[in-house]
Amino acid sequence: MRYAVLFLFLIFFSCANESYENRLIKYLNYLKAEKYDKAYSLLSKTDQNAVTLEEFSSNLSSIDRVIVRKTSNKVLESSTSESGSSVTVTVEVKKIDMRKLFLNIPELAVDKKLSVKEVEKIMNKNRNNLNKCVVIFNKDYKLINEEDKWVIKADLDIIKYINDNLKSAIEYEKAGEYDKAMSAIEKIIDYEEVDRKAVDIYSAAMEKNNYKNNYLKLSYQIESSTIVARITNTGTYALKELSVKMEVYDNGALKDEALLTPISKEKEKTLGYNESAEARHTFENLTPNDKIKVYVMSISF
């Protein structure tokens, strides 16, 4: 009887102090099995405070989900911090590379929503090409000890911060607010998790901002209640899109505004070197005391 009690105690003690490697493998297996609620329960409190379970489980596309299913993980080594409160586990990851996948199986790169079954069907049909997309690399996972249990520190708070700023940068860049787009990228550019996309957005915003400020000459005149703006392209790029913002102020307060697109892809017209475009808009109740502000908003090459 005494040995039976001791045996049960050892089982309980073992479960209560599950190794960090087992916890990590369990987390990765839950992700593969799409048991997101169980995987979420193994995250640190910081991660759980950063994203909800719904956000955690809805971020993956159908292609991402299939890739995770087909990913294999092998623990190589681990190192514990001096305090013993955190550990880094190095895992050998064997998975499908998204860029190689689109290159070798273009059918998956089409701009439409595919279901998981459709993705698997396409992959099974292209098994030989699929093998060319597999990459092997090492990835470090960090675990910390919370309430005598090892939990995964996935840095979802940092990832959310990066994604939020990246989303803002894209919106600012599209709206022609290039300074704000660059500022949003500058907040995240030093994080290791930031990929090439952020650099591309920053470069595009900087180039457009420079071109807008240095090579587009704008003047305007008022004809009765109509503001007529004239924009001349003195640079060497042909503009495919050009938007102009007009703002009317009364005693410092914005009274009226208009966003015009004299050059757009829909109009199938470009603005080449030394060419000019005109934008005009009639405002109601425009008075001689109103202050007028007219400027180029956004451009594309």
Does 80 share its domain with 46?
Answer: yes
Residue 158 lies in a domain: no
pLDDT digits (tens, 9 = 90+) for 78-94: 999 988 899 999 999 99
Q: Is the pLDDT of residue 10 over 50?
A: no
Report d(CA 245, CA 262) in Å as an integer.
11
Angle between helices 156-175 and 178-186 (to 10 degrees): 160
CATH of the domain at 224: 2.60.40.10
Residue 196 lies in a domain: yes
Q: How many distinct structural domains can be found in the chain?
A: 3
Q: Is the pLDDT of residue 1 over 90?
A: no
Residue 102 lies in a domain: yes
Residue 173 lies in a domain: yes
Does 177 share its domain with 284?
Answer: no
Report d(CA 281, CA 226) in Å as an integer.
5
Does 87 share its domain with 200?
Answer: no
Rounded mean pLDDT, 294-300: 95
pLDDT digits (tens, 9 = 90+) for 267-286: 888 999 999 999 999 999 89
> Which residues are paired to 299 by β-bridges?
242
Q: Tell which residue, 247, 253, 248, 234, has the closest CA to residue 286.
A: 248
3-state secondary structure the chain: CHHHHHHHHHHHHHHHCCCHHHHHHHHHHHHHCCCHHHHHHCECHHHHHHCCHHHHHCCCCHHHHHHHHCCEEEEEEEEECCCCCEEEEEEEEEEECHHHHHHHCHHHHCCCCCCHHHHHHHHHHCHHHHHCCEEEEEEEEEEEEECCEEEECCCHHHHHHHHHHHHHHHHHHHHCCHHHHHHHHHCCCCCCCCCHHHHHHHHHHHHHHHHHHHHEEEEEEEECCEEEEEEEECCCCCECEEEEEEEEEECCEEEEEEEEEEECCCCCCCECCCCEEEEEEECCCCCCCCEEEEEEEEEEC
Higher pLDDT, 19 or 5: 19
Does 236 share its domain with 172?
Answer: no
CATH of the domain at 82: 3.10.450.100
Q: In the numeric block, which tokens belong to residue 94?
A: 């064997």
Does 179 share its domain with 121?
Answer: no
Give CA 241 to chain center in angstroms: 24
Report d(CA 43, CA 260) in Å as an integer.
49
Does 191 share its domain with 291?
Answer: no
Does 172 share its domain with 83?
Answer: no
Parent domain of 56: 2-153
The overall average pLDDT reported for the chain is: 90
Q: Locate tokens 């989900």: which residue?
A: 65
pLDDT at 28: 96
Length, in residues, of the chain:
301
Does 200 share its domain with 171?
Answer: yes
pLDDT digits (tens, 9 = 90+) for 100-136: 999 999 999 876 688 999 999 999 999 999 999 999 9
Q: Tell which residue, 143, 173, 160, has the closest CA to residue 42.
A: 143
Residue 237 lies in a domain: yes
pLDDT at 268: 82
Does 171 share its domain with 138?
Answer: no
Does 21 share its domain with 119?
Answer: yes
Rounded mean pLDDT, 241-257: 95
Residue 124 lies in a domain: yes
pTM of the model: 0.70
- 247 pLDDT band, cuts 50/70/90, is very high
Q: Which of 213, 231, 253 is where one domain is finished? A: 213
Residue 145 lies in a domain: yes
Does 271 share its domain with 282?
Answer: yes
Q: Is the pLDDT of residue 14 over 80?
A: no
Report d(CA 212, CA 235) in Å as an integer.
10
Does 220 share its domain with 108?
Answer: no
Rounded mean pLDDT, 179-196: 90
Q: Which of 111, 133, 153 is where one domain is finished? A: 153
- Pair type for strands 241-250 and 149-152: unpaired
Q: Which of 129, 153, 177 is where one domain is finished? A: 153
pLDDT at 154: 94
- 242 pLDDT band, cuts 50/70/90, is very high
pLDDT digits (tens, 9 = 90+) for 128-166: 999 999 999 999 999 999 998 999 999 999 999 999 999
Residue 16 lies in a domain: yes
